[in-house]
Amino acid sequence: MISIQNIEISFNTPRGKFTAVKDINLDIAQGEIVSIIGHSGCGKSTILNAISGMLFPTKGKVLLNNSEVKGPGPDRGIVFQNYSLLPWLTVEENVYQAVDAALAGKPTSEKHELVAKYLRMVNLWEHREKYPKQISGGMKQRTAIARAFAIDPSVLLLDEPFGALDALTKGSLHIELLKMWNLTQQSKTIVMVTHDIEEAIFLSDRIVVMNNGPAATIREIEEVNLPRPRNKKEIVNLEEYKIIRERLLNLLMDKVEIDEKDFYKEKAA
């Protein structure tokens, strides 16, 4: 469904051309959940932005259902870490506004029903009249996720959506995300950027591990062959889980160790 073909993304900076990522090739099937992990600054958000159409590759192309991505569209819903709710609208209005734009021409009652359905799904119906400043971080992110699902995009792009949340809230949002994915017959394709290895394993079918930048590339792609539905308490005891976790930790720690060695070398010199 998504085909990233040999993309390179460079930026013009005051110090010249900066290549953030290069030689990125990745095919993602419909209904797959794929996470992208890697050190800060390795280009995870840059890749997500190229899929969203907010950024154009300097070389190569991104195809969505065999058509080249030329800009953002309602077929792709995006959730960012910083909630991105409009502060002057209530929870319900924030979701309605997106639905109204995506379903222009449909009866108002139908749009309101849709908003209600998704707010109930993320347990926010009781809080629908509150403004963003009156709700917690987890509730803001629930609103953003409900809004993204309500417009019924075929692809959901999540940029560290749970990064600012505490572990318990994060855990319940993981379950709500999978609940919505299951309710759509696992037909939505989800691409998520995260720093959290456990989160990536729990949610994903595949995990893309990036090298460090500049000119970062894909280092390895791990398949997560854990049965679904997944139960967090149960999967952590499975051998497969432990192997993937160890492997991801080793891949990500590699660079840190190299940096440390360099530091001691410099000190000795």
Q: Which residues of 18-53 are buried (b: 16+ CB within 10 A; e: fewer)?
A: ebbbbebebebeebbbbbbbbbeebbbbbbbbbbbb
Which C-beta is closer to ligand ATP: that of 43 or that of 77?
Answer: 43
41 binds ligand ATP (CB under 6 A): yes
213 binds ligand ATP (CB under 6 A): yes
In terms of Cα–Cα distance, which of 1, 15, 19 is closest to 57?
Answer: 19
**Identified binder of ligand ATP from the candidate list 2, 34, 43, 165, rule CB under 6 A:** 43
141 binds ligand ATP (CB under 6 A): no
* Residues 10 to 29 in contact with ligand ATP, rule: CB under 6 A: 11, 13, 18, 20
**Residue 128 Cβ vs ligand ATP, minimum distance, rounded to whole Å:** 31
**Residue 70 structure tokens:** 């030329």
161 binds ligand ATP (CB under 6 A): no
207 binds ligand ATP (CB under 6 A): no
Q: Which stretch binds ligand ATP (CB under 6 A): 42-50, 63-71, 121-129, 240-248?
A: 42-50
The greatest distance separating any two alpha carbons of the chain, rounded to the nearest whole angstrom, comes to 73
For residue 188, the tally of other CB atoms under 10 A from its CB is 21
Residues 51, 54, 59, 65: what is their CA dihedral angle, to the nearest 10 degrees? 30
Residues forming the site for ligand ATP (CB under 6 A): 11, 13, 18, 20, 38, 40-46, 213
